[in-house]
Amino acid sequence: MLALTDVTLLYLCLAGVGVYLMKQAFAKNHAPYPPGPRGLPVVGNIQDVPRVKPWLTFAEWGKKYGGISHINVLGLHIVVLNSAKTTVEMLDKKSSIYSDRPFVAMTGELMGYGQTLPFLRYGKRFRLFRKNFHRIIGSHASVVVYYPIEEIETHRFLKRVLANPDQLQAHVQRTACSFILRISYGYEVKEDNDPILDIAERALDQLSRNSLTGEFMVDFLPSLAKVPEWFPGAGFKRLAREYRETVEEVAAVTYKFAKDQMAAGTALKSFTSDLLEGRTLTAEEDHDVKWSAISLFSGGADTSISSLYSFFLAMTLFPEVQKKAQAEIDAVVGPDRLPSFTDRASLPYIDALAKEVLRWNVAIPGADHCVTEDDIHDGYYIPKGSLIVPNIWFMLNDPETYANPSEFSPERFLAKDGKEPETDPRAFCFGFGRRICPGVHLADASIWISAVMSLAVLDVSKVVENGVEITPEVDPSSGLISHPKPFKCSIKARSDKAFALIQQDTY
């Protein structure tokens, strides 16, 4: 009888403690979660997680639930932001707690990209990497030194396109990789059969296709990472091992090249050479320089590929825009030389066109953040550790911000007849807060010079097959980096003089 009483008292005490803890939790979490789809018991909203083009589903949630919505997947809280205003208030103004990255088991841990800046958790190493980027390419003035490289690589691109216009996508990829490898490591890509270019392109392709958070179940159940490769359903482990080997190889090979060139006294100026110059590094510092450099490559090359390919898609679909842009170039630059960065201030329509490329087919539709503390925002409870997903695609396609957003219209960024320009897409497309793209000035310069030099000497139009004009489909791919669907177009020199300019040897 005494034993029973003791047990009863124990249960009562435990119950009392439980009630107390529940009251404390309720007091702390008196605010509701943001609205969102109703989930199932235990698994929550696992069936609601979009696998293909998630930004479209997120946009629908925005229409139904407002600018901020919420789901819970196996205990992981996911907060989707469709409102640009709310995104700025959270990710910019409260960046001290909204600048972490979620732990992404597949891409970050298993594939090995957790060592690169885009996937680094917020902390000492993240701040060091950002400091490296800011010092070397963090301002307009600091990237001017790389302008001649961009002009040279774009000129080489024009030659390749004119020689084999049917291989546009391959030329775009090669050009973007060549430029980033040159800036990151001082490496100049060989014209044919370049081994470093081959592995670099493979790494980019793997990252682009398999890096969306939630694409693999292991992202929601990290314990699955311990499952052996031979276990049924563990194909993701074999895939991750292959991809990890690729990224570690490209990081090692390129870094070794840069260090060997410096030791031989033949190094070209680059991001890596600037970080290594005059320093004797510890093993940890050496690791940090190596992974800072590959961060620049992995973060910059694929987005440039997407933007440049989007530019050619837009010129194929919107010939009237192409003609206006070419008329401006002809009037300012003339037919006797290729445009350069020195012409930028005199070409406002080309500047607007470059902005529209960034908006119209956004390269990064959404970039995940993670909150490091509990927060109450707009009356909603945002738990510590929540995945915060700004729907950048919708912000750049919101009809309340951009008139007729599916149309490619550089005019929207030009003041006319007393009408103010629409919001500069660079306020959204490069990210937010302390996670904003550190290579923003390089990226902006890259798309501008590619557009202006291409338009100066090339005519882009729809392909005609068997007497039928083929209109490309606007169908961007899923993935961390979104690319236009492969398309056909006709590319020709604008004139004999344009052909001669392309063939000139200027390097």
Residue 41 lies in a domain: no
Q: Which residue has the tokens 């669907």?
A: 485
- Please report the pLDDT score of residue 26 as a whole number: 44
Question: pLDDT at residue 253 above 80?
Answer: yes
User: Mean pLDDT across the stretch 99-125?
Assistant: 87
Burial (0-12, 13-18, 19+ Cβ within 10 Å), 262: middle
> For the whole model, what pTM was predicted?
0.89
Confidence of residue 426 (pLDDT cuts 50, 70, 90): very high
- Please report the pLDDT score of residue 4 as a whole number: 32
User: Mean pLDDT across the stretch 58-74?
Assistant: 96
Question: In terms of pLDDT, which residue wins out, 282 or 228?
Answer: 282
- Please report the pLDDT score of residue 209 as a whole number: 67
Question: pLDDT at residue 212 above 70?
Answer: no
Q: Which residues are annotated as a binding site for heme?
A: 437
Question: In terms of pLDDT, which residue wins out, 14 or 419?
Answer: 419
**Strand, helix or coil at 451?**
helix
Confidence of residue 6 (pLDDT cuts 50, 70, 90): very low
Task: Tell me the pLDDT of the chain averaged across its residues.
Answer: 89
- Please report the pLDDT score of residue 16 as a whole number: 37
Alpha-carbon span 74 to 55, nearest angstrom: 21
**Strand, helix or coil at 157?**
helix
- Please report the pLDDT score of residue 29 as a whole number: 52
Confidence of residue 10 (pLDDT cuts 50, 70, 90): very low
Confidence of residue 216 (pLDDT cuts 50, 70, 90): confident
Question: pLDDT at residue 491 above 50?
Answer: yes
Read off the CATH number of the domain in which 149 is found. 1.10.630.10
User: Mean pLDDT across the stretch 414-420?
Assistant: 86
Domain count along the chain: 1
Domain range for 405 is 51-503
Q: Which residues are annotated as a binding site?
A: 437
Confidence of residue 210 (pLDDT cuts 50, 70, 90): low
According to DSSP, residue 414 is labeled S
- Please report the pLDDT score of residue 103 as a whole number: 81
According to DSSP, residue 431 is labeled -
> Which range has the top average pLDDT, 27-36, 75-84, 279-288, 412-421?
75-84
- Please report the pLDDT score of residue 317 as a whole number: 98
The tokens of 314 are what? 């837009």
Alpha-carbon span 14 to 486, nearest angstrom: 63
User: Mean pLDDT across the stretch 179-187?
Assistant: 94
- Please report the pLDDT score of residue 480 as a whole number: 82
User: Mean pLDDT across the stretch 232-245?
Assistant: 84
CA angle (472, 478, 482) in 5-degree steps: 70
Q: Which residue has the tokens 């959270």?
A: 90
Q: At what angle do helices 496-503 and 440-457 cross, to 10 degrees?
A: 140
Rg, C-alpha atoms of the chain = 25
**pLDDT digits over 296-355, tens only?**
988 888 899 999 999 999 999 999 999 999 999 999 999 999 999 999 999 999 999 999
Residue 262 lies in a domain: yes
- Please report the pLDDT score of residue 305 as a whole number: 92
Pair type for strands 458-461 and 490-493: antiparallel
User: Mean pLDDT across the stretch 116-135?
Assistant: 92
User: Mean pLDDT across the stretch 431-436?
Assistant: 94
**pLDDT digits over 169-181, tens only?**
999 999 999 999 9
User: Mean pLDDT across the stretch 359-378?
Assistant: 94
The one-letter amino acid at 435: R
Question: In terms of pLDDT, which residue wins out, 177 or 103?
Answer: 177
Residue 463 lies in a domain: yes
105, 225 in Cβ contact below 8 A? yes
Residue 290 lies in a domain: yes
Ordered alpha helix ranges (H), 29-144: 54-65, 84-87, 124-137, 140-143
- Please report the pLDDT score of residue 214 as a whole number: 62
- Please report the pLDDT score of residue 278 as a whole number: 84
Question: In terms of pLDDT, which residue wins out, 81 or 11?
Answer: 81
User: Mean pLDDT across the stretch 89-106?
Assistant: 92
Question: pLDDT at residue 79 above 60?
Answer: yes
Residue 499 lies in a domain: yes
Question: In terms of pLDDT, which residue wins out, 169 or 216?
Answer: 169
Question: pLDDT at residue 2 above 80?
Answer: no
- Please report the pLDDT score of residue 23 as a whole number: 39
Alpha-carbon span 273 to 280, nearest angstrom: 13
According to DSSP, residue 41 is labeled T
- Please report the pLDDT score of residue 211 as a whole number: 59
Residue 305 lies in a domain: yes
Alpha-carbon span 398 to 413, nearest angstrom: 15
Confidence of residue 506 (pLDDT cuts 50, 70, 90): low
431, 364 in Cβ contact below 8 A? yes
Confidence of residue 417 (pLDDT cuts 50, 70, 90): confident
Per-position DSSP letters for 167-222, written without gaps between them = GHHHHHHHHHHHHHHHHHH-PPPPSS--HHHHHHHHHHHHHHHS--TTSSGGGT-G
**pLDDT digits over 450-473, tens only?**
999 999 999 999 999 989 999 999
Residue 15 lies in a domain: no
Residue 14 lies in a domain: no
